[in-house]
Chain A
Amino acid sequence: MRNPQLNKNGELQHLLTIDGLPREIITAVLDTAAPFTEVAEREVKKLPLLRGKSVFNLFFESSTRTRTTFEIAAKRLSADVINLNISTSSTSKGETLLDTVDNLSAMQADMFVVRHASSGAPFLISQHLDAMRQEHIHVINAGDGRHAHPTQGLLDMYTIRHYKKDFTKLTVAIVGDVLHSRVARSQINALTTLGVPEVRVIGPKTLLPADVEKLGVRVFHDMRAGLKDVDVVMMLRLQNERMQGALLPSSEEFFKYYGLTPDKLERARPDAIVMHPGPMNRGVEIDSAVADGPHAVILPQVTFGIAVRMAVMAMLAGN
């Protein structure tokens, strides 16, 4: 079966997940993002690539940061951006997901940026558009359920490459609530595709998926052991809103064992970088001294995220 993200020429048609994306396409996104970073320093922070195109931000689940960075990226490419906060709109009146999509397609949409609480919703939309002969409309997954958050994974790879250059010599640790994290899945897929020789996941048993080793990672339950000599520490947010039942005794307890403190960070390499996809829970998964310290590259991640999203949109619009 053809990769549902690629068109018949093997070019990116939709961005749904990093899983199964060829290394050349991931590298092409990172290469394309580099010149977009410079646009932010110009007097006119705008490029004409998406002039006349309409980008619909379809957020079935609330998110301020991701929606804002997609909106900025689209606007810097001169697109018209329409934000739909659908959790408070038509679905509450009973309209189905695909009816919503058909209606917006009839409004001459060129691109859908989709955030949904259900895994696979962006895939469903892309399949539907292709079946309806609307292949000119591109879909970007902005986070679906526990499945994937590919632009976050790509901006994380851009950040790592910016500071560490060569993926093939790195040890990378992903720490925290892997079970509920779509970000972690996208990160693991991207890191292994780009040839990182050692990817570790660190967390309590209750917050790691049962078969996580199958993704090609080393598992640690002891954070100090897991952080030894790592080049990159990727913290995850403790997703309180996705947790049902008692997976953790308390957030204080979590911080004690899995919160990134200066003392635990000393186990990593002296030039290690610390990343976090945001929003941070200070004092839960990360100590303020680390979040605001010299190893943190959390704010550059946000800046790079705009360039990476511009690159994805420009590549899709051109394919």
Chain B
Amino acid sequence: MRLPDAEQLCIALAERMRPGLHPDTALIGIHTGGVWVAERLHAALGLKILLGTMDVSFYRDDFGRTGLHPQLKPSEIPFEVEDRPVIIVDDVLYTGRTLRAAMNEIFDYGRPARIDLAVLVDRGGRELPICARWAAQTMELDRGQNLQLERSDNGKLTLRMVNA
């Protein structure tokens, strides 16, 4: 299957989001792929509020089965969450469990005015009632297929299919 160009998806996603932004809007990227996308969007949209990043491992619902991920990154939220519109940014939307964990974590920093979700690709297969407000691309993939965002040494983003 031919996969879409991730760089062009970033540009398209930024343009779709632009009309829905508020001057106080903050972005939070989910480690690791979501942070790369969020960095692109943050620059393209010229947002004033510093970019937030989040590692949701501490909030995942599969901790009891899989334990802690060895390469944890600290969450950095360099703004007040209270009463602010927040957009979570991720690379691929699948089961929705990562987003549930991310929303739980955001509320531990304060009560946001609203939370929206922007993703490069919505690949279907949801296990929770979660949907993206903006998705640059939608596609239906089988459960055994795993879509990943990768970043090369020169910073270029590429989508890649990994068969589990």
**A314: which of B66, B68, B108, B109 is its contact (CB, 8 Å)?**
B68
Q: What are 7 A-B pairs at a CB distance below 8 A?
A: A32-B70, A32-B72, A34-B72, A35-B58, A37-B74, A38-B76, A44-B109
* Contact (Cβ within 8 A) A35 B55: yes
Q: Does A117 contact B (CB under 8 A)?
A: no
Chain B residue with minimal CB distance to A44? B108
Interface segment among A46-54, A138-146, A160-168: the answer is: A46-54
Chain A residues whose CB sits within 8 angstroms of the CB of B110 once the complex forms: 43
Partner of B74, one of A35, A48, A49: A35
B79 at the interface (CB under 8 A from A): no
Instruction: Determine how close the nearest CB of chain B comes to the CB of A8; give it in whole angstroms.
Output: 15
A47 touches B67 (CB 8 A): no
**How long is the Cα–Cα vector from A181 to B23 in the complex, in angstroms?**
58
> Are A46 and B108 in contact, CB atoms less than 8 angstroms apart?
yes
Residue B8 is within 8 A (CB to CB) of chain A in the complex: no
Tally of contact residues, B, Cβ under 8 A: 20
Nearest residue (CB) in A for B82 is A43
List the A residue with the shortest CB-CB distance to B105: A47
Do A31 and B108 touch across chains, with their CB atoms under 8 A apart?
Answer: no
Residue of A nearest to B76 (CB): A38
- Closest chain-B Cβ to A36's Cβ sits at a distance in Å of 8
Most buried by A among B75, B108, B109: B108
Q: Is A28 located at the chain interface by the 8 A CB criterion?
A: yes
Q: Are A43 and B55 in contact (CB under 8 A)?
A: no
Bound CA span A34–B107, Å: 21
CB within 8 Å of A: which of B81-126? 104, 107-110
Q: Determine the distance from Cα of A46 to Cα of B105 in the docked complex, in whole angstroms.
A: 10
A46 to B68, CA, bound (A): 16
User: Which residue numbers of A lie inside 8 Å of B, CB to CB?
Assistant: 11, 28, 31-32, 34-35, 37-38, 42-44, 46-49, 314-315, 317-319
Determine how close the nearest CB of chain A comes to the CB of B115; give it in whole angstroms.
16
Q: Is the CB of A35 within 8 A of B73?
A: yes
- Check A318–B108 contact: CB distance below 8 A: no
Are B108's CB and A28's CB within 8 A? no
Residues of B within 8 A of A317 (CB): 63, 67
A314–B64 Cα gap in the complex (Å)?
A: 10
Interface of B, secondary structure class, is loop
Q: Would you call A32 and B108 a contact (CB within 8 A)? A: no
Q: 20 other contacts beyond A32-B68, A42-B109, with CB at 8 A cut-off?
A: A28-B70, A31-B70, A31-B72, A32-B72, A34-B74, A35-B55, A35-B72, A35-B74, A38-B75, A38-B76, A42-B108, A43-B109, A44-B108, A46-B108, A47-B59, A48-B59, A49-B68, A314-B58, A315-B67, A318-B63
The answer for the CA separation of A35 and B77 in the assembled complex, in Å, is 13
Identify which of residues 39-65 in chain B touch chain A, using a CB-to-CB cut-off of 8 Å. 55, 58-59, 63-64
Asked if B71 is at the interface (CB within 8 A of a chain A CB), the reply is yes
In the bound assembly, the distance between CA atoms of A149 and B75 in angstroms comes to 30
- Report A-chain residues with C-beta under 8 Å of the C-beta of B59: 47-48
Q: Which residue of B lies closest to A77 (CB)?
A: B58
Name the residue on A nearest B77 (C-beta). Answer: A42
Q: From B55, B67, B71, B104, give the contact of A31 (CB < 8 A).
A: B71
Shortest distance in angstroms between A27's beta carbon and chain B's nearest beta carbon?
10
Complex formed: what's the CA distance from A32 to B55 in Å? 12
A47 CA / B60 CA spacing, docked (Å): 10
A35: nearest residue on chain B (CB-CB)?
Answer: B74
- What residues of A have a CB within 8 angstroms of the CB of B72 in the complex? 31-32, 34-35
Given contacts A47-B59, A315-B68, A318-B63, contact A38 B108 (CB under 8 A): no
Alpha-carbon gap, A31 to B74, bound state (A)? 10
Query: Contact at B68–A48, with CB atoms within 8 Å?
Result: no
Partner of A48, one of B55, B67, B104, B109: B104
- Minimum Cβ distance to chain B for residue A40 (Å): 12
Which residues of B lie under 8 Å from residue A48 when comparing CB positions?
A: 58-59, 104
Contact residues in A for B75 (Cβ distance below 8 Å): 35, 38
Residues B55 and A318 in contact, CB atoms below 8 Å apart: no
A318 to B108, alpha carbons, bound, how many Å? 22
Taken together as a complex, chains A and B put the C-alpha atoms of A159 and B41 apart, in Å, by 37
Tell me, rounded to whole Å, the shortest Cβ–Cβ distance linking A309 to chain B: 14
Instruction: Write out the residue numbers on chain A whose beta carbons fall within 8 Å of the beta carbon of B64.
Output: 318
- The answer for the CA separation of A49 and B66 in the assembled complex, in Å, is 12
Query: When chains A and B are docked, how far (Å) is the Cα of A46 from the Cα of B75?
Result: 14
